[in-house]
Amino acid sequence: MSEPTEIRTQPVVARRRRTVLKAGGTLLISLLTPLTARAAQILAVRMWPAEDYTRVTLENDSDLKTQHFTLENPDRLVIDIEGIDLNPTLKSLVAKVQPNDPYVSQIRVGQNKPHIVRLVFDLKEKINPQVFTLAPVGEYQHRLVFDLYPVNPPDPIAALIREGKWSIDDPVTESLPSPGTPPLAETTPPREPGKTPQPQVSRMLTITLDPGHGGEDPGAIGPRGTREKDIVLAIAKRLKTKLEREPNMRVMLTRDADFFVPLGTRVQKARRVNADLFVSIHADAFVKPTANGSSVFALSEKGASSTAARWLANKENAADLIGGTNVRGGADKQLASVLFDLSTTAQINDSLKLGKTVLQEIGGINRLHKNAVEQAGFAVLKAPDIPSILIETAFISNPQEEVRLRDPAYQEQMAEAIAQGIKRYFAKNPPLSKSRMM
């Protein structure tokens, strides 16, 4: 009786074993499939054309690998992106190309191979491409960035020459001024009998205006959606117009459109034109919407003057992480250390004098958050040889101040106040002669 039972039992056990193995295999495949077959998703595409460089950003839900190369006759940049499939968001990149883009005429997008998309940039001239990834930060997920730099970078002095604001024969050595001599005088006053004429400086003054943020970095955003980068660019352009009405002042903007400029590059641009002043313009946010008023900051080599100043400096110094730069952290820290070591007490003292006159003028149109110039370790103020200040025009996070910042009349008032402060500073501190930095 036991023998038939044994015969019947074996097939049942075998079937059960096969069923278990099949179920286990199905489970394993289901677990591995998302890891091996699922393509990354492109969430957004953005393009930022500018004379300095054109940036293209692909925001996605995972880190992507790429290969790229350039072709000639005609000039093209080819980029293969692994692990993605063509989707409508990526296809929309084609329509992002603007007619005034200095470097890109059109973009073609196609599925080159399974899970490999090819982008072809038809170029207007030869470029030096930089392709890199950025880890998630702030509101952004993973970003794949293509920076298209011209082979011959634009020269800020050449740009000023084209605008008629820089002469090849610009004097670089002048007589030293006497104390209290107004720098705006263009003619030497009549000499009184028996008195030795006092030397004057009549050279052009170069002022660098730095509208904060830009491009991938919108800066602070107000309750009504106002972006800091837009407001400060508008104020900077108004200020530029006012300063250039003076016969001996010319202005260079670190950015004149909506694109991102790394903090170190902003400083380098000022030094390239041998700037006499550096003024960075902002409209920040605070954790409390009730915070209000304008502030002026200078560099500190001994720590921040207040907890709020330290908090703000740390926030502004994180701009490179938000905006996205291809310089790795070690190089950033090394550059910051070098610039900081070169910063002199004289530069900070001049910055405090400039900040004081500007703060007094701003106080005539808006409440001051602090009645004195504050100090902190702002990376953008670390030009070792240029008096530099950072102006917080108002708190964009405050609903009332956001409304004012959006008002062209207030922007005009703010620009006028800063201009008057700058002119008062030069009237009290006539610029010395200096050699052009190469």
Q: Tens place of pLDDT for every residue, the chain, 438 residues?
A: 433 333 344 554 455 555 544 555 444 444 444 444 567 889 999 999 999 999 999 999 998 999 999 999 999 999 999 999 999 999 999 999 999 999 999 999 999 889 999 999 999 999 999 999 999 998 999 999 999 999 988 888 888 887 777 876 554 433 333 333 333 333 334 444 444 444 454 578 999 999 999 999 999 999 999 999 999 999 999 999 999 999 999 999 999 999 999 999 999 999 999 999 999 999 988 878 888 999 999 988 776 766 776 767 777 877 878 888 875 544 444 444 545 445 467 889 999 999 999 999 999 999 998 899 998 888 888 888 899 999 999 999 999 999 999 999 999 999 999 999 999 999 998 876 655 443
Residues in Cβ contact with 261 at an 8 Å cutoff, skipping those fewer than 6 apart = 52, 214, 254, 255, 269, 323
194: in domain: no
Of 126, 150, 174, the domain-final residue: 150
Domain identity same for 163 and 279 = yes
Strands of the sheet containing 142-150, edge to edge, are 42-48, 54-60, 142-150, 127-134
Domain identity same for 345 and 404 = yes
Domain identity same for 322 and 177 = yes
30: in domain: no
4: in domain: no
| Domain residue limits at 358 | 156-183+200-428
Number of domains in the chain: 2
Domain identity same for 208 and 289 = yes
Distance in angstroms (rounded) separating the CA atoms of residues 78 and 356: 52
Q: What is the pLDDT of residue 192?
A: 47
303: in domain: yes
Q: What is the pLDDT of residue 159?
A: 80
Domain identity same for 127 and 164 = no
Going by the DSSP 8-state scheme, the letter that residue 288 receives in this structure is S
Distance in angstroms (rounded) separating the CA atoms of residues 285 and 228: 9
What one-letter code names the amino acid at 159? A
SS3 call for 224: coil
Domain identity same for 278 and 160 = yes
Distance in angstroms (rounded) separating the CA atoms of residues 232 and 253: 12
Domain identity same for 125 and 53 = yes
Whole-angstrom CA distances from 313 to 101, 238, 375, 381, 386 are 33, 25, 9, 10, 19
CB 177 within 8 A of CB 202: no
Of 134, 150, 166, the domain-final residue: 150
CATH number of the domain bearing residue 233: 3.40.630.40
CB atoms closer than 10 angstroms to residue 128: 13
Q: What is the pLDDT of residue 18?
A: 54
| Lookup result for tokens 């603007």 | 98
CATH number of the domain bearing residue 103: 2.60.40.3500
Q: What is the pLDDT of residue 16?
A: 55
Angle between helices 345-362 and 408-428 (to 10 degrees): 130
CB 252 within 8 A of CB 273: yes
**What is the Cα gyration radius of the chain?**
29
Q: For residue 113, what are the β-bridge partners?
A: 116
Distance in angstroms (rounded) separating the CA atoms of residues 322 and 185: 44
Domain identity same for 168 and 303 = yes
Q: What is the pLDDT of residue 191?
A: 42
319: in domain: yes
264-289: b or e for each residue (b if 16 or more CB lie within 10 Å)?
A: bbbbbbbeebbbbbbbbbbbbbbeeb
382: in domain: yes
Distance of CA 336 to the CA centre of its chain: 16
Domain identity same for 102 and 238 = no
Q: What is the pLDDT of residue 153?
A: 87
pTM attached to this predicted model: 0.79
Domain identity same for 289 and 355 = yes
Q: What is the pLDDT of residue 167?
A: 72
23: in domain: no
Q: What is the pLDDT of residue 72?
A: 94
Residues in Cβ contact with 277 at an 8 Å cutoff, skipping those fewer than 6 apart = 205, 207, 208, 354, 386, 387, 388, 422, 425
Sign, CA torsion 339/343/348/350: negative
Domain identity same for 170 and 84 = no
294: in domain: yes
Q: What is the pLDDT of residue 177?
A: 34
Q: Is the peptide bond before 74 cis (omega within 30 degrees of 0)?
A: yes
Domain identity same for 210 and 104 = no
Whole-angstrom CA distances from 233 to 229, 261, 325 are 6, 13, 20
Q: What is the pLDDT of residue 7?
A: 38
Distance in angstroms (rounded) separating the CA atoms of residues 52 and 259: 9
Q: What is the pLDDT of residue 412?
A: 97
CB 217 within 8 A of CB 322: yes
